[in-house]
A and B are shown apart, each in its own frame.
Chain A
Amino acid sequence: MTEQHKEIIRQGLWGNNPALVQILGLCPVLAVTSTLTNAMGLGIATLLVLIGSNLTVSLVRRWVPNEVRIPIYVMIIASLVTSVQLLMNAYTYGLYQSLGIFIPLIVTNCVIIGRAEAFASKTTPALAALDGLMMGLGFTAVLLVLGGLRELLGQGTLFDGAELLLGDWARGLRIDVLHLDNGFLLAILPPGAFIGLGLLIAAKNWLDARLAARRAPVAKAEITRARITSL
């Protein structure tokens, strides 16, 4: 693994995370993260489309004239999304119903065309696919954390409805964590998603600041020591 690979992984998962830093694809992030299962379903669907579109865009980049590149990217993304939608309709019917309109809306998720334009169209297929995978994982991770938090606060469970995504064996995954008579409604509604995402972004910034602070004092300490010896 070269330094370039590591950088792509770091950027996708953390440094340039699509949901926390680029704040792209807000609509699905806020709308479908009411349960962990929905979040996972949409995350995986987006991940697949992202890898597919990055790979395709990178493969055909030599034949795409600069003037018409955007319509071509849109066509590639739209046909990939339609295929994913058909596959989900056929093999994960329950999840397809509970995600509803948000599957076709993956087409409009700016993460996907953003990566195609900014990265995949200028690099080799292998790197583009890796970037798609890492951006997709970063996006899915945020969806999962947000979905888990909202489901926990809103209805006191985790993995409710997992059998829709994973088949009947997953019914046992459901965990009743808290027993709430009346869930915390705000967590389920879109405003709760906004607040939750805001808190996640704040948490990431706080962590980054702490990490930076931990590195900085070391450098400072050296300088002070240097001063002391000079005295």
Chain B
Amino acid sequence: MFAMMRRNGLTLAAFALACTAFVAVTHSLTRDTIVEQEQAQLLLVLNELLPADTHDEALFEHCVLLGNEQYLGTSEALPVFAAVKGGEHQGYAIETIAPDGYSGAIKLVVGVQADGRLSGVRVLNHNETPGLGDKIELKKSAWLLSFDGMELLGEDDARWAVRNDGGQFDAFTGATITPRAVVKAVRNVLLLVSQHPELLAQAPRCGASL
């Protein structure tokens, strides 16, 4: 009885060891490529929001981590990239969360120019309904481009809502919750930049991993 248990236990342990070794080897072989891929993907999005002529220093060099429940929808620290040219700030690319999407959180990057206007908005990640809410992807529809060049005039700017609520942004047929969540998240980012620039200045720098 005990002999059998010992034998089975040892066999299990041996297999666990072999399987773990196999995964560990694959992980170490692919680790660098994965990091490269993720950075390349993020850089692709960042370069759309902060074009190459807005900065002469690497975006990853000017990165801070900021978490703010009120303005960024999450207390988890998200990266903010600053475009710096000739030592001057030309704009930010701010990652934010729209927590009230139809199917959970929507992860966005918002590009804000030095004059407070939006250079653009991109969706990094979402789970909205295919065919309805997923029109927030640029691949599916040009809706996101309606943010380009917009600005927020103070906290009571009534234009910052979807058309159903009296604002200036179109809603999708059959999906109002998704665009409403995105508009609100972008508005909050603009509020953060205009009213609390000190939060950005005080935020800790990103770790070496970014």
Listed in ascending order, the chain A residues whose CB lies under 8 Å from chain B are: 34, 60, 63-65, 67-68, 71-72, 75-76, 78-79, 82-83, 86-87, 89-91, 93, 154, 183, 185, 188-189
Contacts and interface: CB of A to CB of B under 8 A. Distances in A.
A89 B20 contact: no
8 nearest CB pairs, A to B: A90-B33, A79-B19, A90-B30, A83-B26, A93-B37, A86-B30, A185-B131, A75-B19
B8 A183 contact: no
A63 B7 CA distance: 11
B11 interface: yes
Q: Is the interface of B mostly helix, strand, loop or mixed?
A: helix
A149 to B, nearest CB: 16
Contacts of A185: 131-132
Contacts of A65: 4, 7-8, 11
A90 B37 contact: yes
Nearest to B24: A79
Contacts of A89: 30, 34, 37
B131 A83 contact: no
Q: Is the interface of A mostly helix, strand, loop or mixed?
A: helix
A89 B38 CA distance: 9
A76 B23 CA distance: 10
B41 interface: yes
The CB with the most chain B CB atoms within 10 A, among A91, A93, A154, is that of A93
A68 B8 contact: yes
Contacts of A79: 19-20, 22-23
Given A90-B37, A183-B131, A72 B30 contact: no
A83 B22 contact: yes
Interface in B1-39: 4, 7-8, 11-12, 15-16, 19-20, 22-23, 26-27, 30, 33-34, 37-38
A60 B26 CA distance: 21
Category for how many chain B residues contact A: 20 to 34
B131 A86 contact: no
B8 A76 contact: no
Given A83-B23, A183-B131, 7 more contacts: A71-B12, A79-B19, A79-B22, A82-B23, A86-B30, A86-B34, A154-B131
B207 interface: no
A67 B1 CA distance: 12
A93 B38 CA distance: 8
A186 B166 CA distance: 31
B131 to A, nearest CB: 5
B87 interface: no
B130 interface: yes
A146 to B, nearest CB: 15
Contacts of A67: 4, 8
Contact of A86 (B4, B15, B19, B27): B27
Contacts of A91: 33
Contacts of B38: 93
B26 A82 contact: yes
A9 B94 CA distance: 54
The CB with the most chain A CB atoms within 10 A, among B7, B23, B38, B132, is that of B23
A188 B41 CA distance: 27
A178 to B, nearest CB: 15
The CB with the most chain A CB atoms within 10 A, among B4, B19, B41, is that of B19
B30 A189 contact: no
B46 to A, nearest CB: 16
